[in-house]
Amino acid sequence: MDKETIADLIEAKHAELISWLEKQPDDAWTQGPEGKWTQGQQALHLLQSIKPLNDALSMPKFLLRFKFGKANRPVRDYDTTVKRYQERLLDAKGKTFKGSQNMKVPTLADKHYILNRLQTESKKLQYKTKKISDTNLDTVILPHPLMGKMPVREIIMWTAHHVEHHTKILKGKY
Protein backbone atom coordinates (compact mmCIF):
# COMPACT_ATOMS: atom_id res chain seq x y z
CA MET A 1 0.00 0.00 0.00
CA ASP A 2 1.52 3.34 -0.99
CA LYS A 3 1.88 6.34 1.34
CA GLU A 4 -1.03 8.34 -0.13
CA THR A 5 -3.39 5.39 0.14
CA ILE A 6 -2.35 4.74 3.75
CA ALA A 7 -2.80 8.44 4.66
CA ASP A 8 -6.25 8.45 3.01
CA LEU A 9 -7.19 5.31 4.95
CA ILE A 10 -6.09 6.91 8.25
CA GLU A 11 -8.23 9.95 7.37
CA ALA A 12 -11.29 7.92 6.43
CA LYS A 13 -11.22 5.62 9.47
CA HIS A 14 -10.76 8.47 11.96
CA ALA A 15 -13.41 10.64 10.27
CA GLU A 16 -15.94 7.81 10.45
CA LEU A 17 -15.21 7.16 14.13
CA ILE A 18 -15.25 10.79 15.22
CA SER A 19 -18.41 11.58 13.24
CA TRP A 20 -20.16 8.59 14.80
CA LEU A 21 -19.03 9.47 18.35
CA GLU A 22 -20.15 13.09 17.98
CA LYS A 23 -23.70 11.91 17.16
CA GLN A 24 -24.03 9.62 20.18
CA PRO A 25 -26.02 10.48 23.32
CA ASP A 26 -23.91 11.99 26.09
CA ASP A 27 -24.56 9.21 28.63
CA ALA A 28 -22.96 6.60 26.33
CA TRP A 29 -19.66 8.48 26.66
CA THR A 30 -19.44 7.61 30.37
CA GLN A 31 -21.56 4.46 30.70
CA GLY A 32 -21.11 1.32 28.66
CA PRO A 33 -22.35 -2.25 28.57
CA GLU A 34 -21.54 -4.25 31.71
CA GLY A 35 -17.84 -5.03 31.89
CA LYS A 36 -17.07 -3.27 28.59
CA TRP A 37 -15.38 0.02 27.85
CA THR A 38 -17.45 3.15 27.48
CA GLN A 39 -17.30 5.21 24.31
CA GLY A 40 -14.98 7.57 26.15
CA GLN A 41 -12.62 4.76 27.09
CA GLN A 42 -12.57 3.45 23.52
CA ALA A 43 -11.68 6.94 22.21
CA LEU A 44 -9.05 7.43 24.93
CA HIS A 45 -7.53 4.03 24.09
CA LEU A 46 -7.21 5.02 20.42
CA LEU A 47 -5.60 8.31 21.43
CA GLN A 48 -3.18 6.43 23.69
CA SER A 49 -2.18 4.20 20.79
CA ILE A 50 -1.68 6.86 18.09
CA LYS A 51 0.20 9.41 20.23
CA PRO A 52 3.32 7.25 20.87
CA LEU A 53 3.46 6.40 17.17
CA ASN A 54 3.48 10.07 16.22
CA ASP A 55 6.08 10.76 18.92
CA ALA A 56 8.30 7.98 17.57
CA LEU A 57 7.94 9.21 13.99
CA SER A 58 9.10 12.65 15.15
CA MET A 59 12.42 11.17 16.27
CA PRO A 60 15.44 10.92 13.98
CA LYS A 61 15.15 7.63 12.12
CA PHE A 62 18.76 6.67 12.93
CA LEU A 63 17.82 6.72 16.64
CA LEU A 64 14.89 4.40 15.99
CA ARG A 65 17.16 2.04 14.03
CA PHE A 66 19.70 2.15 16.87
CA LYS A 67 17.06 1.46 19.52
CA PHE A 68 14.89 -1.13 17.74
CA GLY A 69 16.99 -2.42 14.84
CA LYS A 70 15.84 -2.68 11.25
CA ALA A 71 13.44 -4.89 9.38
CA ASN A 72 14.70 -8.36 8.52
CA ARG A 73 11.74 -9.34 6.34
CA PRO A 74 9.56 -7.85 3.59
CA VAL A 75 6.65 -5.62 4.61
CA ARG A 76 3.32 -7.42 4.88
CA ASP A 77 0.34 -6.04 2.97
CA TYR A 78 -2.70 -4.55 4.70
CA ASP A 79 -4.83 -7.71 4.63
CA THR A 80 -2.00 -9.88 5.98
CA THR A 81 -1.30 -7.35 8.76
CA VAL A 82 -5.01 -7.30 9.73
CA LYS A 83 -5.21 -11.11 9.67
CA ARG A 84 -2.13 -11.39 11.87
CA TYR A 85 -3.60 -8.86 14.34
CA GLN A 86 -6.88 -10.81 14.53
CA GLU A 87 -4.93 -14.01 15.23
CA ARG A 88 -2.89 -12.30 17.94
CA LEU A 89 -6.07 -10.91 19.54
CA LEU A 90 -7.48 -14.42 19.77
CA ASP A 91 -4.22 -15.67 21.30
CA ALA A 92 -4.32 -12.82 23.85
CA LYS A 93 -7.80 -13.96 25.01
CA GLY A 94 -9.02 -10.47 25.87
CA LYS A 95 -5.86 -9.46 27.72
CA THR A 96 -5.52 -5.70 27.97
CA PHE A 97 -2.07 -4.26 27.57
CA LYS A 98 -0.30 -1.98 30.01
CA GLY A 99 -1.35 1.45 28.73
CA SER A 100 -5.03 0.55 28.68
CA GLN A 101 -5.37 -1.46 31.89
CA ASN A 102 -7.60 0.00 34.61
CA MET A 103 -8.42 2.89 32.31
CA LYS A 104 -10.27 5.77 33.86
CA VAL A 105 -13.65 6.69 32.41
CA PRO A 106 -13.25 10.07 30.72
CA THR A 107 -15.83 12.61 31.83
CA LEU A 108 -18.28 14.19 29.45
CA ALA A 109 -16.27 17.40 29.85
CA ASP A 110 -13.31 15.50 28.34
CA LYS A 111 -15.24 14.39 25.25
CA HIS A 112 -14.56 17.43 23.07
CA TYR A 113 -10.89 17.48 24.10
CA ILE A 114 -10.32 13.76 23.42
CA LEU A 115 -12.08 13.83 20.04
CA ASN A 116 -10.18 16.98 19.08
CA ARG A 117 -6.84 15.42 20.09
CA LEU A 118 -7.67 12.22 18.25
CA GLN A 119 -8.42 14.21 15.10
CA THR A 120 -5.22 16.25 15.52
CA GLU A 121 -3.08 13.12 16.03
CA SER A 122 -4.72 11.55 12.97
CA LYS A 123 -3.79 14.60 10.87
CA LYS A 124 -0.22 14.45 12.21
CA LEU A 125 0.04 10.78 11.29
CA GLN A 126 -1.26 11.45 7.78
CA TYR A 127 1.33 14.21 7.34
CA LYS A 128 4.18 12.08 8.71
CA THR A 129 3.13 9.14 6.53
CA LYS A 130 3.32 11.26 3.39
CA LYS A 131 6.69 12.78 4.36
CA ILE A 132 8.66 9.72 5.48
CA SER A 133 10.73 8.02 2.79
CA ASP A 134 9.62 4.66 1.43
CA THR A 135 12.96 3.23 2.56
CA ASN A 136 12.33 4.30 6.16
CA LEU A 137 8.70 3.12 6.00
CA ASP A 138 9.91 -0.34 5.07
CA THR A 139 13.13 -0.69 7.12
CA VAL A 140 12.60 1.24 10.38
CA ILE A 141 10.80 -0.91 12.93
CA LEU A 142 8.82 -0.03 16.04
CA PRO A 143 7.60 -2.26 18.87
CA HIS A 144 3.91 -3.10 19.19
CA PRO A 145 2.66 -4.58 22.50
CA LEU A 146 0.72 -7.39 20.79
CA MET A 147 2.34 -7.77 17.38
CA GLY A 148 6.02 -7.42 18.30
CA LYS A 149 8.39 -5.35 16.18
CA MET A 150 6.83 -4.10 12.95
CA PRO A 151 8.05 -2.00 10.02
CA VAL A 152 6.62 1.52 10.18
CA ARG A 153 4.50 0.98 7.05
CA GLU A 154 2.79 -1.98 8.74
CA ILE A 155 2.24 -0.22 12.04
CA ILE A 156 0.63 2.75 10.29
CA MET A 157 -1.64 0.41 8.28
CA TRP A 158 -2.43 -1.40 11.53
CA THR A 159 -3.38 1.95 13.10
CA ALA A 160 -6.02 2.47 10.41
CA HIS A 161 -7.38 -1.02 11.05
CA HIS A 162 -7.27 -0.49 14.82
CA VAL A 163 -9.60 2.51 14.48
CA GLU A 164 -11.92 0.49 12.23
CA HIS A 165 -11.84 -2.40 14.73
CA HIS A 166 -12.94 -0.15 17.61
CA THR A 167 -15.53 1.63 15.45
CA LYS A 168 -17.12 -1.76 14.67
CA ILE A 169 -17.10 -2.67 18.37
CA LEU A 170 -18.76 0.63 19.27
CA LYS A 171 -21.41 0.36 16.56
CA GLY A 172 -22.16 -3.21 17.64
CA LYS A 173 -22.53 -2.39 21.34
CA TYR A 174 -24.34 0.94 21.07
SS3 of 140, please? strand
Percent of the chain residues past pLDDT 90, beyond the cut = 83
Rounded average pLDDT over 29-58: 94
Residue 96 has pLDDT above 70, yes or no: no
Q: Would you list the domain boundaries of the chain?
A: 1-14+39-97+136-174
Residues 106-159 pLDDT 10s: 999 999 999 999 999 999 999 999 999 999 999 999 999 999 999 999 999 999
Residue 93 Ramachandran class (φ > 0 left, ψ -120 to 50 alpha, else beta): left
- Cβ atoms of 152 and 5 within 8 Å: the answer is no
- Cβ atoms of 124 and 54 within 8 Å: the answer is yes
Residue 161 has pLDDT above 70, yes or no: yes
Dist. CA 123–CA 134, nearest whole Å: 19
What type of residue sits at position 116?
Answer: N
Q: What is the pLDDT of residue 32?
A: 85
Higher pLDDT, 94 or 171: 171
Q: What is the pTM of this model?
A: 0.93
